[in-house]
Amino acid sequence: MTETFGQDDQSWLASAHGTDTAKPLTLDTSAFVPATHYPNGYFPSGLPLGKITATGLYGPYDNTAADGREVLAGFLFTAVSAPSVNTVDPQGALFWHGAVVEAKLPRPVDAAGKTDVAGYIKFF
């Protein structure tokens, strides 16, 4: 078996602060849209995430959702290879404390998301 890895762009991290406290997580692949969230076969580092209340799995942050993903929990710390089927849920790590360069995030975060993580994540 061969496993390949894409380029992991962590330029969204404003400092190393908080990188040593990333929490393990499981992504709910079925909650993501391939062309939107992982068009190159990888969930990108810095992807904003919310925790799905019913399952405890993580999906893309979406302020209009009603399943828990409407609350920003943090960001995917490192890129994760997306499975070829949406029934496999890969492991990753949640960056939940530190500073980020907002313009370098792969997906924007709205004002409500910034409020969700106020006191934990600082946006530059």
> What is the per-residue pLDDT for 42?
94
Q: What is the pLDDT of residue 84?
A: 85
Give the pTM.
0.92
Could you read off the pLDDT of 96-119 as tens digits, one per residue? 999 999 999 999 999 999 999 999
Q: How far is CA 2 from CA 5, 89, 91, 92, 116, in A?
A: 10, 19, 18, 19, 39
Give the pLDDT confidence of 12-27 residue by residue, as tens digits: 999 999 999 999 999 9
pLDDT band at 86 (very low <50, low <70, confident <90, very high): confident
